[in-house]
Amino acid sequence: MIGGGFAGASCARALKRLAPRLAVTLVEQSASFTACPLSNGVIAGLRDLRDQEFTYDKLAGRGVELARLTATGVDPQARAVTLADGTRLAYDRLVVAPGIDIRWDAMPGYGEAAAEKMPHAWKAGAQTTLLRRQLEAMEDGGLVVISAPANPFRCPPGPYERASLIAYYLKTKKPKSKLIILDAKDAFSKQRLFQNAWKALYPNLEWVSLSSGGKVTSVDVAAMTLVTDFGRHKADVANVIPPQKAARIAEMAGVADRTGWCPIDPATFESKLQPNVHVVGDASIAGAMPKSAFSANAQAKVCAAAVVKLLAGGSPDEPKLINTCYSLVAPDYGISIVGVYRPADGQIKEVEGSTGVSALDAPSSTRALEATFANDWFKTITNEVFG
């Protein structure tokens, strides 16, 4: 297993549960895991970053061998993974679950140095803290600009949850300030729910669609300016969420295609490009499934069951997968979207009629209940994966 995030750690754990005699090694470069879900609450000052951090100690106790190093190469022919210290690990089956990397070459002016002034905060940790500090330091009356990418990217509702919670912070602590979302899309997840809530709660939040000139084409970090085809926006705080791709090791393993993401068999998550290598989580092209921690966890369990069957010479069952994405619009205002998925025509497709979203006209008591569901879901999944 390469990568100990929601996908990789879930898969390692599921493999040991399904087949305790399998030797499972989890290669993870970080000493601990910092979770993205609810990290928008950290940015808004509602949570502590420490509430996002998890260790791998329990996983080790469940019989998973830990290799706390970066995987630097994969040789699919020899069936071996190379680690940063030169160690080679042989495998019968490899699961690649490394999450995403930022496409540093996708937006002129935006690179790793620029991210220190215009944070992406799309990998939780130091970037999350940086964006929080910038918001704290901003004077009342300032302008916050969020740039949201085109599809596909990690966590489709994430930029809009972030905008909502930053707007909540501004409304309660810096009410003269404004927030603009510059979007490279004309439509986004849970759009009507978000926009209805914004109209009611956050008059200082403006969303600029692709058609209205929202796509950021370059940034000028020195001038704190985001450039679109329609004009320039000078920000006091700029949160650039850039285009993304599967993390680098996927490309090195030969499982990423020209899109930068990894095509997979929808029943087993085996790579369409390399036999005996599976890809789960954000790095995979999972058809209609969004790139979420919920999806990553569901895919990991399906993949683990398939790997166990394949190693025993059997044929994997046809899976059904579920995803639920909660978003917080305010601390006591939650909304959600649910979908059920299955393999069809070589892809993962949504089961017809399975999508459900929160009602547009739900009372505030329902929104408050959904906010508690969001928090409960986080506790449940992190306990299941890392507990």
Ligand X SMILES: Cc1cc2nc3c(=O)[nH]c(=O)nc-3n(C[C@H](O)[C@H](O)[C@H](O)COP(=O)(O)OP(=O)(O)OC[C@H]3O[C@@H](n4cnc5c(N)ncnc54)[C@H](O)[C@@H]3O)c2cc1C
Element (H, E) at 378: helix 364-386
Q: Taking CB under 6 A as the rule, does residue 293 contact ligand X?
A: yes
Element (H, E) at 90: strand 88-90
By CB neighbour count within 10 A (0-12 exposed, 13-18 middle, 19+ buried), where does 168 fall? Answer: buried
Q: Which one among 1, 15, 24, 27 touches ligand X, defined by CB under 6 A? A: 27
- Closest CB 121 distance from ligand X, rounded Å: 7
Q: Taking CB under 6 A as the rule, does residue 292 contact ligand X?
A: yes
User: Of all residues in this chain, which one has the CB nearest to ligand X in the complex?
Assistant: 5
Q: Taking CB under 6 A as the rule, does residue 2 contact ligand X?
A: yes
Closest CA to 254 of 236, 273, 241, 229: 273
Q: Which one among 146, 282, 321, 336 touches ligand X, defined by CB under 6 A? A: 282
- Closest CB 201 distance from ligand X, rounded Å: 19
Q: Taking CB under 6 A as the rule, does residue 71 contact ligand X?
A: yes
- Closest CB 115 distance from ligand X, rounded Å: 14
163 neighbors 177 (Cβ within 8 angstroms): no
191-201 helix and 158-173 helix, angle to the nearest 10 degrees: 10
Q: Taking CB under 6 A as the rule, does residue 6 contact ligand X?
A: yes
Binders of ligand X among residues 324 to 343 (CB under 6 A) are 325-326
Q: Taking CB under 6 A as the rule, does residue 40 contact ligand X?
A: yes
Q: Taking CB under 6 A as the rule, does residue 304 contact ligand X?
A: no
- Based on CB atoms, which residue is closest to ligand X, 334 or 343? 334
In angstroms, the CA 8 to CA 15 distance is 11
In angstroms, the CA 108 to CA 119 distance is 15
The residue range among 24-32, 131-139, 140-148, 332-340 that interacts with ligand X, by the rule CB under 6 A, is 24-32
179 neighbors 144 (Cβ within 8 angstroms): yes
**SS3 helix, strand, coil % of the chain, rounded to 5?**
30, 25, 45
Q: Taking CB under 6 A as the rule, does residue 7 contact ligand X?
A: yes
Binding site residues, ligand X, CB under 6 A: 2-8, 27-30, 33, 36-37, 39-40, 70-71, 97-99, 122, 154-155, 158, 162, 247, 249, 281-283, 291-294, 296, 325-326
